[in-house]
A and B are shown apart, each in its own frame.
Chain A
């Protein structure tokens, strides 16, 4: 005749199993939380680094371009037919005027061919008609809005990921006109 176990003897095993399951659940929850938090912090850090580098590159490119040619006459040119506002620095060599222009225009991306907005730099003599694609692309840029207030040049910039920056520069030499 076989003896059956009393019903109460199962409960410690059940409690132990539940406890083990609870510990496993805790382990899983904490692991998920840690990974999620790490991913979030990593994403924020990368976004912040991207913001920083974009704003530094944009402003450094524009500032160095202007400082390099500050001896010339600084102008704001509007090409309404092309929808471009260009910051132009005019220098005269051997009686001929040369225009260095900084402007924002579209160009197909070299990798995927999708049209993207870039900051361009062109250098032409006054005899050459300005075309948007006559320059070189410097960096990806969504917005470039230069204005002149006396000898203070103000440039509003917007990077590809939407970071906005403002550059203010006191023009040391040359004329400034809009």
Chain B
């Protein structure tokens, strides 16, 4: 075999190796990106759950829930209260049901990442009506 064609064969072999390496690299980078995204979502879900539990407990025992939400740093928007956290946001909405004996007040605390709702935790409290003697 001529020396020149041997060098060409080596070059082609090397290019083929690099080509397959690039394909593998592209797949691996995609896998890494997915792993990072999933890890970020798991982190946001976990910490939004912990924070939502704390907010739910405080709302359950609060005399004035608006003050509790303001203390946490929530800001009111049209549909509820929003709190921006690191990588996720908490949203609190209120549903009230008036019954004969009192008011059923349900706060729904949602953890949101981007457009995706990670979890929703309800905190329900029944406030009885005052009965005249």
Residues of A within 8 A of B (CB): 13, 16, 19-20, 23-24, 26-27, 30-31, 34, 37-38, 41-42, 44-45, 48-49, 51-52, 55-56, 59, 63, 150-152, 165-170
Contacts and interface: CB of A to CB of B under 8 A. Distances in A.
A115 to B, nearest CB: 29
A23 B13 CA distance: 11
Please classify the interface of chain B as helix (H, G, I), strand (E, B), loop, or mixed, using the class held by over half of its residues.
helix
B11 A51 contact: no
Interface residues of B, number: 28
A23 B75 CA distance: 57
Interface in B19-69: 21-22, 25, 28-29, 32, 35-36, 39-40, 42-43, 46-47, 50, 53-54, 57-58, 60-61
Contact of B46 (A30, A31, A34, A55): A55
Contacts of B32: 37-38, 41
A63 to B, nearest CB: 8
Contact of A38 (B17, B22, B28): B28
B131 interface: no
Contacts of B40: 48
Given A45-B39, A59-B50, A152-B58, A27 B7 contact: no
Given A30-B21, A170-B61, A41 B46 contact: no
B61 A27 contact: no
Please classify the interface of chain A as helix (H, G, I), strand (E, B), loop, or mixed, using the class held by over half of its residues.
helix
A63 B39 CA distance: 25
B76 to A, nearest CB: 22
Contact of A52 (B15, B46, B60): B46
A167 B54 contact: yes
A15 B83 CA distance: 62
B1 interface: no
